[in-house]
Amino acid sequence: MSDEPAEMTKWDPGFTRQITSWVGPVIKRYFRAEVRGMDSLPAAGGALVVSNHSGGMLTPDVLVFAPQFYGHFGFDRPLYTLAHYGVFMGPLGDYLRKAGVIEASRENAAAALRSGAVVLVFPGGDYDSYRPTMTANVVDFNGRTGYVRTAVESGVPIVPMVSIGAQETQLFLARGDSLARRLGLTRARMEILPVSVGFPF
């Protein structure tokens, strides 16, 4: 029996290869995406890639980065992406886990890093991805720094990554964090109630 947590054992390299071979070219062509600096990642061993999050509800960050990662390192080295538990609801959750998306927790991140995997984290989450258009070029993790302790305790380097361009897909007027607090949404781990104009709204 594997001593890895259930989250990690669900990663399916064959399924990930299929998704990457189909999604990668579409995303690259549609967004005219470009990834630079893959050589900044260590050639082997665990690493924590820390990035801003962009684009509101339709964040293309992982879909842009993952195909380039696997094209560079191959499918013997997993890339796990930490995600809010809410994205795993419904049948989509099983597919996400097969593609290497794991529930965001220090325990899951540390286990993946210690196994020698690369872990991608967006500390700012939706708070950062809905940053107003007026401050589109200001990365804001909302004070979240737990990833530093996770990397130090796991003995892996932090590799910073910056995603730019997706904030231009909509007009982001406000995060709506004060409105979320007034409505009591923070009890359900919903810190914002954003106001934006553009597809799909």
What's the pLDDT tens digit per position in 73-84?
A: 999 999 999 998
What's the pLDDT tens digit per position in 138-194?
A: 888 988 999 999 999 999 999 999 998 888 888 888 888 888 788 877 666 677 788
What's the pLDDT tens digit per position in 112-146?
A: 999 999 999 999 888 888 888 898 888 889 889 99
pLDDT at res. 10? 92
Residues 6+ away with beta carbon under 8 Å from 130:
56, 172, 175, 192, 194, 196
DSSP 88: G
- CA-angle at 47, arms to 45 and 48, nearest 5°: 160
Global pTM? 0.87
Closest to 45 in 3D by CA, of 73, 66, 11, 67: 73
pLDDT at res. 196? 86
Higher pLDDT, 90 or 6: 90
Q: Is 25 helix (H, G, I), strand (E, B) or coil?
A: helix
Domain boundaries, the chain: 6-36+43-133+144-170
What's the pLDDT tens digit per position in 17-70?
A: 999 999 889 988 888 889 999 999 999 999 999 999 888 877 889 999 999 999
